[in-house]
Amino acid sequence: MRVSFAISLQKTRFNAVAFQESLIPVLQELKELGYDGVELAVRNPQEIDRKGLVELVAQFGLQVPAIGTGQAFVEEGLSLSSLNSEIRRRAKERLKDHILFASLFQSLVIIGLIRGVLPEDRKAKNEALSYFRESLKECASFCSRTRDSNGH
């Protein structure tokens, strides 16, 4: 069995996720504790030094089994089910960025809080669920095309 630990690469209000300014001591400690991997919670992949991160994770012999997306919702309100088309558009673009980022590690992408929160009103809830399905379909298609073009 493999064991991984979730950490945040960026500051967030979501206090349950571990965050430190420098990843080196965190990764070193996780490796010393016997962890096999590190799950990365990422608000915005565009703000991450991708090459440096790939090298750093490899330096400690850790895998990256998954990339978390929830901070995009927590910090920016991006939601795949939003009734606001601009918010949905931005959420889909961000999720596509997460997919490309995850491809560096051949990781899974976790659709967490970026899915949004459903409204109470039944009609609005059904509309939001419809938007959510459309959003997921678009992002899954993007993922499939990305995987095909990258060979993994």
pLDDT of residue 12: 67
pLDDT of residue 14: 57
3-class DSSP assignment, residue 60: coil
pLDDT of residue 146: 83
**Where exactly are the structural domains of the chain?**
4-150
Walking along the chain (152 residues) 10 residues at a time, the average pLDDT comes out as 82 58 86 94 94 95 95 95 98 97 95 94 97 97 82 56
Beta bridge partners of 108: 66
Cα–Cα distance between 140 and 115 in angstroms, integer?
14
Kindly report the pTM of this predicted structure: 0.89
Architecture in CATH of 4-150: Alpha-Beta Barrel (3.20)
pLDDT of residue 57: 95
